[in-house]
Each structure stands twice: as C-alpha cells, then as structure tokens.
Amino acid sequence: MENTENNLQNAQSAVISPQERQEFEEFKRQKRVAEARAIIAKLELTFTQATAERAALRRAAKDGEKLGLGGICVNPCQVKACSEFLGAGSPVAVVACISPWGGTDTTDIKIKQVRRALRDGAKIVEVTVPVPAIKEGDWAYVRRELKKLRSAARKATLRINLEAPLLNAQELTKLCALICELGITAVRTAGEAFGSGADEEELKLIKTALKDKAIIKADGADAPGRLATLFECGASLAGSASAIAMAQTILSVAEK
C-alpha cells in the first residue's frame, strides 16, 4: 500500500509542476471563499437591542457590508441611520422589524410604521403577526391585517414574523396557509423576543405548511454548525445577533 501511494505521488509530481500545484491550491481556496460568501449572503444581523447606540450601529453596518451579509435588522427608529451608514446602492438590505413583541400593536400603527420604514430606506419590512388575535381565533382580523400590510408594503418585500414558539401546530399551519393564500412570499419563523427562535420541528412544520410558496428565514443560529442545521430543515435565510462573528469564522476557515 505504501509503495502504491508513493508511486501515485511521484506520478502526480511528474505531471504537475510546482507552479501548477500552487495555481490549483489557489483555485481551491477561491472556490472555498466563494462558497463561504454565498452562505454569508444568507445571513442577516439582528441588531434590535433597546440599548443599541448609533456608533455601534455604524460599526455593524460597515462590518456587515465588508463581510457581505444579506441584511441588517433594526428597530423602526434606526432604519434611517442604518440606511445612511450603508449608503445608496448597498447590497446589504435594511430590514425594519415592526411590532416584535407578539405583534400587539394595532393594525393602523403597523401600517404607519411600514410606510415610514420604507420612506427611511428599508428594503424589507418584517412585521409580527397579531398573536392575541390568533389565540382568540379571530382569523378575520388576521386576514384583514395581512392584506393591509401587503398593500402598504407595495413593491418592497413583506416578511411576516410568525412567532412560532407562541403558536401551537394547528395555529401555525392555518397561519401559513393564509399567508400563501394572500400571496405573501416571505416569513420569519420567530424573533428572539420569546426565546432563541423556532426549533427544528417547528421549522419543518412551517416548511411543509408553506408548500414552497414562501421563503423562510429562521432565527437562533449562534454558530456555523447550527446554521447548517437550519438550512437542512428548510430555511433559506438565517438571522442572528452573532451574524458578524459567524461570518468572520466562516471566511477564516475558507481562507485556510
């Protein structure tokens, strides 16, 4: 066996020059980096801490753009600043997170926040469903609100935050069916206000209920391994407060 391996190495050395070997290694490195950047483009930074300061947002915007994150998720009051920090034409989307605490704002308030966020530069508006209405079984209210939100978003992406941990399987399935019926094409499994996002079983249920009619963003990734699990379970995007650190790790590994 050892002789066979030596003969193979000698044969390869005879065929590939040192320069060609170097070029091949560089090709492999570039391929790894390209694959890493494709993963990073599916990551969104969750930057919705109530104590977040303007200077920290500026750093996050610059780091996110340098790394190639897909988006930066901010509170409505931070949309304009984040848009200015990123600049016009930035490939990094500003995502406005509206009514994150269980979607308890009135529909009118949500509509006003959506319109203001779009004026301030948001490319995506992420609005939480009215959890109290769902728990009351008032699906007519939920339907009306979703239709009004879809209209208010106009050509921008409307992403509905399902708050999956607060709903049972029946409620989640019915909500996903309604979202598909209304032609809404993007959802977020859950914010981080009530835990760390949806678990694998909830994510699989959402994936099945949506029938590939909406893109799923999952939260709860705090390491590259966890990120891979979310994608395997059906997510196309992932959100995390650790997105910048994860992106740096992913790129560092690819560069080796």
Structural domain boundaries enclosing 1: 1-40
Q: How many domains does the structure of the chain reveal?
A: 2
Neighbours of 243 (CB within 10 A): 28
Same domain, 4 and 124: no
Query: How big is the CA angle at 124 (ends 120 and 127), to the nearest 5 degrees?
Result: 100
Same domain, 28 and 109: no
pLDDT digits (tens, 9 = 90+) for 74-84: 999 999 999 99
Q: What percent of the chain has pLDDT over 70?
A: 93
Rounded distance between C-alpha atoms, residue 184 and residue 1, angstroms:
60
User: Strand, coil or helix: what is 9?
Assistant: helix
Average of per-residue pLDDT across 186-195: 85
Same domain, 91 and 178: yes
Task: Mention every residue, 6+ apart, whose C-beta is less than 8 A from residue 178.
Answer: 139, 142, 143, 146
Q: What is the CA radius of gyration of the chain?
A: 22
pLDDT band of residue 1 (cuts 50, 70, 90) is: very low
Higher pLDDT, 31 or 7: 31
Same domain, 9 and 132: no
Average of per-residue pLDDT across 158-181: 97
Looking up residue 56, the CATH number of its domain turns out to be 3.20.20.70
Same domain, 34 and 46: no
pLDDT over 60 (residue 160): yes
Same domain, 18 and 92: no
Residue 33's nearest CA partner among 228, 250, 246, 226 is: 250
**What's the pLDDT at 237?**
97
pLDDT band of residue 6 (cuts 50, 70, 90) is: low
Which pairing describes strands 186-188 and 157-161: parallel, antiparallel, or unpaired? parallel
Same domain, 178 and 221: yes
Question: What mean pLDDT value characterizes the chain?
Answer: 92
**What's the pLDDT at 26?**
84
Rounded distance between C-alpha atoms, residue 140 and residue 107, angstroms:
13
Same domain, 35 and 51: no
